[in-house]
Every structure is written in C-alpha cells, then in structure tokens.
Amino acid sequence: MVSTPVDPDEQRVSPLELFFDLVFVFSITQVAALLSGDPSMEGLIGGLLVLLLIWWSWSQYTWVLNSLGNEATVMKLTLLAAMAAVLFMALAVPDALGEGGMWFAVGYTAVLLLGLAVFAVGAPEDQRVDRNRYAIPAFVGVLTVLVGGLFQGEARMAVWGVGMVIQIGAAFFVGSSDFRIKPAHFAERHALFVIIALGEIIVAVGLAATGSERNVETTAALAGAFLVVAVLWWAYFDWLASAMEQALAAVTGSVRGSTARDIFTLGHIPLIAGVVLYAVGAEEAVAHASDHLESAGRTSLALAIGLIVCAYAFLAYRSDHFITWERLVGGAIAIAAVLGLQTVNGGTILWIVAFIIGLSLLLERPRARTAARSSSEVGNALG
C-alpha cells in the first residue's frame, strides 16, 4: 500500500485486450461445465488442471503485451489469431478429459506458440536473454501438453501436469532477471479479468435459474448467489487491488519481475479456481433452490470459499505483509456452515455465506485502512 509516482511510460488496457479477455473467460466458464459433468475427485483434479492450462496461456499474453506494447499492428493481428485459437480450445474444454483432449491440446498449443513467436520476434535487444530463458523451456512444456493429448485418462492428466510444471519452472527461471514490467497496465489486466470472471458467474447462475420455477425460493437463491459475487468483488477491489498495484510499482528490476509473477501470475490462480468452483456450486444451489444442497454442490462451495479466502490472504501478505485475520476466520466459519448445515436449502446457504464473508470484511476494513495510511506515509517519507 505504498504511495508511488506514476510511470510516464505506462500504457492503458486497449479495447482489443478486453475483447481478448472476454474470449478467454468463456473458456474458463467452460471449465465449470467440465466440473459439473464429473463431480468425482478425478474430475475435480482434471478440471482444475485444464483451468490452470487456460490461465497460463492467458498470463503469457499479459506478460507479452505488457512488455512489447499493445499498439503495433503485428500485435493486434496476433491477438486476433490467438482469439480464434482460444475459441477453438474453449469449445473442447467440456470434453477435454475425454474424446476432446487432443482438440483442446491443439488449440492450447496454437495459443501458446503464437504468444511465444511474437515475443521471440518483438523482444527488444536488452530483453533477448529474458526471451531465451523463458521461451526455450516454455516451448518444451507446450509440446509436452500437445503430446499429452494423445493419451487417455490418468496418463493424459499426468503428461499435462508435467507440461504445466515445465512452464511454471520457466517462469521462475526468468523471474530472477531484469524483466521490464509496467505496473498499472499489469494490475489493470488482472483486475479486469477478475471483473469479467465474476460477471460470468452471474450469467451462469442466471441461466441456471431460467429453467427453474419462478417462486420465492428461486428468487431468494438467485439473490443470495448475487450477494456472494458482490462480496467477492468488494473483497478484491475495496483496497486489495490498489495494494497489489502499489506493491508492484514500489520495486524495480528483478524484484519487480518476481513480484509480478508471485502476486499476479501465480497468486491469482487459486482465486480464479475458486471463482469457477463457486459458479458450479451456485448453479447447483439455484437450480435446486427448494431442496437441500447435494454433496457435490456443497463440496464445490466449500472449496471455492477456501481457495478464494486463502488467495486473498496470500495476495494481501505478499503485497503489504498484511494478515487478513478476519477473512481467514470468516472463511473458516463459512466453510463450516456450508458443510455442516446439511438440511438447509441452497439459497439459504448462499445468504449465510454472503453474510459471514461480508461481516468479516466490515470488521477488517478499519485495520486495513490504517495499514494503508501507514504504508502511504512511509512511502512518501522515503520518496
């Protein structure tokens, strides 16, 4: 939460980048369909692995666009071509663990290779070392994912997991170098992605309610689902989004690269996974608003709360060494309520979750604001 001057070289998110993000979020919402279709543990692990692959492909473009800019014609054409590949990949997501595995792998490979190619060609001279450090192992990881599409079942998941580990390893390898990052643009891209992902939850839950009987229970469940989304938005944008951007702007050189990697590229993974799992649980709760929530829906909601709360806690601590005790306690209570209230219908569960998490944010806010002021004063004194 340190106050820092504005970088004159900063860039804004372009309309094409936002359009690009919309296509990617569609692929992420497709993961919700994949998870809903197979509520087993194997389906959960496989679905989250597919989500991780999708997130990683989006993250690569965030780094490339932040480094090379978003105005060049070649970059715009690359984004449009990548969007077509993302759409192809997204359509295969619901069956990515079955017959559609190779189709998904081909789309994923096309998206990543386009990003690697434009970075390899467009990287300025002083970033050629960064390019080679990342691009070579990342290329191996992408090809590993492509090969994984040839396998079936657990073997496919294992090979895809290896490919993902190689690509994450490449990010750690390059993270120690002097990679140029424009903080405001980098933070804005991730904040917009979170907004779009939360908006897609509302769309998904609304579609689930469309086929349900219009009664008090369905209306209450729909309102509860929306309240939880609103609380999740508040938890991110009240002060945390600003703290993350300022933490990135406050450091330079190799530290900025590793900070961007930890807070945004890696730190947002559990948050996005939690958002997808919440969509699965909320759809189940709204679709069966008059009945008690089935075990699969409860598990999805409990995992979603745990992942999102822990993600927020990590992001706050990594940004400003601020410990979100209230959120952690509220999240634990909310999880206990979801798992313990077996006879309560889904709509009521959503209202309870919204109340508990919202209350924890209200209790946390004065302490967070005090910490923000203290950090700002320290930053101004150092400046």
Distance CA 182, CA 267 (A): 18
Query: In this predicted model, what pLDDT tens digit does every residue of 124-156 receive, in sequence order?
Result: 666 655 666 777 888 999 999 999 999 999 999
pTM greater than 0.85 = yes
Sorting pLDDT into bands at 50, 70 and 90, what band is 85? very high
Instruction: Return the HEC string of 119-186.
Output: HHHHCCHHHHHHHHHHHHHHHHHHHHHHHHCCCCHHHHHHHHHHHHHHHHHHHHHHCCCCCCCCHHHH
101 or 294, greater pLDDT: 101
Question: Once rounded to an integer, what is the mean pLDDT over residues 107-125?
Answer: 85
Percent of the chain topping pLDDT 70: 89
Q: How far is CA 194 from CA 225, 237, 308, 378, in A?
A: 17, 10, 12, 30
Distance CA 296, CA 282 (A): 11
Question: Once rounded to an integer, what is the mean pLDDT over residues 89-103?
Answer: 94
Q: Which two tokens stand for residue 162?
A: 């290896």
Q: Which two tokens stand for residue 334?
A: 């909310």
Mean pLDDT, the chain, integer: 87
Distance CA 129, CA 132 (A): 5
pLDDT at 9: 63
Query: Do the Cβ atoms of 212 and 345 come closer than 8 Å?
Result: no
Q: Which two tokens stand for residue 371?
A: 């910490």
Query: In this predicted model, what pLDDT tens digit does every residue of 156-174 receive, in sequence order?
Result: 999 999 999 999 988 887 6
Sorting pLDDT into bands at 50, 70 and 90, what band is 38? confident
Distance CA 129, CA 178 (A): 9
List all residues 6 or more positions away from 178 whose beta carbon is below 8 Å from its beta carbon: 130, 253, 254, 257
Q: How far out from the chain centre does Cα 139 lie? A: 23
pLDDT at 127: 63
Distance CA 251, CA 361 (A): 28
End-to-end CA, the chain: 14
Query: Do the Cβ atoms of 353 and 301 come closer than 8 Å?
Result: yes
**What's the DSSP call for residue 265?**
I
